[in-house]
Chains A and B, each alone.
Chain A
Amino acid sequence: MKFLVIDDSATMRRIVVNSLKRIGYEDCVEAHDGAAGLAAFDSSVGFVITDWNMPNMSGLDFVKALRASGDGKGVPVLMVTTRSVKEDIVLAAQAGVNNYVVKPFTPQVLKEKIDQALGAVAGKA
């Protein structure tokens, strides 16, 4: 499965991609903000992992735009962010995020949330 990893921090992108490879997902494309993420997204992407706070287009705006597009309506989206205020988490859920990981995370938590998001999307299909 192809992952799209969006984060303005190059360090975090490397850590997420490394964690994905460790749990068996080798195919990853990266983007440095929401706008670049939208440009990089196509029907070949099977899972999106996005940060929230980014320049140009935030992760929240990215998810809203993605959900409004044809190909992006059903793709699982995991938000990986430092934002942990309840109102923010609720906003993310309302925007169409399938699961949520608070930084700093462990690879185990990342895997657990990816599996849950994939399971939920498969259940709906």
Chain B
Amino acid sequence: MSAPSDRSGLALHDSEATLRQVESALDEFSGSAGLLSFEEMVTDLEGHPAGLRDLVKLLIGTYTEIMAVIESLRQSRGLLEQAAMDRLKSTHEKLAEVSSATEVAAAGMLDGLDRALGLVDELASDGPDGSPSPDVPSASAGRTETADQLREELHQIMNLLQFQDITSQQLGYASGVLMDIEERMMRLVRVFDLQKVGMDELRDVLGEDRSEPGPRTQAQETCDPDASTLEAEERQALADEVFTSS
């Protein structure tokens, strides 16, 4: 299955191909008018009925407008690609890591629970009333050791639950990116009357000059975009290096 960012990239690539086709068709249309420029066409129609001249002028005007829209679409396509693709890719990676972290933590907890159940069985085998079984030498010491092991297993399971905080931040980041892109798309739809807004406003909507999302929401404040369950030891080593040298 291809990643969403790959599919978005393909869609943008297709949109560029479509724009080229429309442009080519319009070029053919203008070329089929007998290799005359628009100005020459209008001049050539002197003496013809006024209605025909008006129709040609209207067609030329429409052609020019369509070409301007195509150019705007091409620019907006480029800006959209620039603004969205990288962040969509990182969002996809975050979501994949959430899935993986959840699976690893769940597997770790199940393994720990299996071991804990084995230890409970060991404790139970010592005697129904908790007293040392007569056929188990040094049963009391064994029970203490087993209880310590059981406690260790349960603490480890509890520590595995740290994944919840980390994946929650990853999901918060992904949600923030998707909401930001949705907001930009909605604004784009609203301002897509390019005759009125022009490319400067379009650039502002698509955030050409911003690598970060728009104003940070409270949800974004609580999320670390780099939160990860991976390579914890390497990241701790970096922190140790800074604090040892400071």
Contacts and interface: CB of A to CB of B under 8 A. Distances in A.
Q: Does B associate with A?
A: yes
Interface of A: 7-9, 11-12, 14-15, 18-19, 22, 52-55, 58, 81-86, 89-90, 93, 99-107, 109
Contacts of B238: 84, 86, 89, 102
A104 B97 CA distance: 14
Nearest to B239: A100
A12 B235 CA distance: 19
B90 interface: no
Given A82-B226, A107-B159, A58 B166 contact: no
Contacts, number: 92
Interface centre among A22, A58, A89 (most CB of B within 10 A): A89
Contacts of A18: 155, 158
B182 interface: no
Contacts of A7: 165
B102 interface: no
Given A22-B155, A55-B221, A83-B226, 15 more contacts: A9-B165, A15-B158, A53-B169, A53-B224, A58-B221, A82-B165, A82-B166, A84-B226, A84-B228, A84-B239, A85-B226, A101-B239, A102-B232, A102-B236, A104-B229
6 contacts: A11-B162, A55-B221, A89-B239, A100-B243, A104-B229, A105-B236
Given A9-B164, A103-B162, A82 B169 contact: yes
A109 B236 contact: yes
Contacts of A19: 155, 159
Contacts of A82: 165-166, 169, 224, 226-228
Contact of B242 (A12, A86, A103): A86
Contacts of A93: 242-243, 246
7 tightest A-B CB contacts, nearest first: A84-B235, A82-B227, A104-B162, A100-B239, A9-B165, A89-B242, A102-B235
Contacts of B228: 82, 84
Contacts of A81: 224
B203 to A, nearest CB: 29
B206 interface: no
Contacts of B239: 84, 89, 100-102
A82 B227 CA distance: 5
Given A11-B165, A93-B246, A100-B243, A106 B159 contact: yes
A81 to B, nearest CB: 7
A108 to B, nearest CB: 10
Nearest to B160: A104
Given A52-B224, A89-B238, A11 B243 contact: no
A89 B235 CA distance: 10
A106 B243 CA distance: 18
A99 B161 contact: no
Contacts of B155: 18-19, 22, 107
Contacts of A103: 162, 165-166, 227, 232
A109 B226 CA distance: 21
A115 B176 CA distance: 38
B144 interface: no
Given A102-B236, A107-B155, A109-B236, A12 B162 contact: yes
A89 B226 CA distance: 13
Interface centre among B223, B235, B243 (most CB of A within 10 A): B243
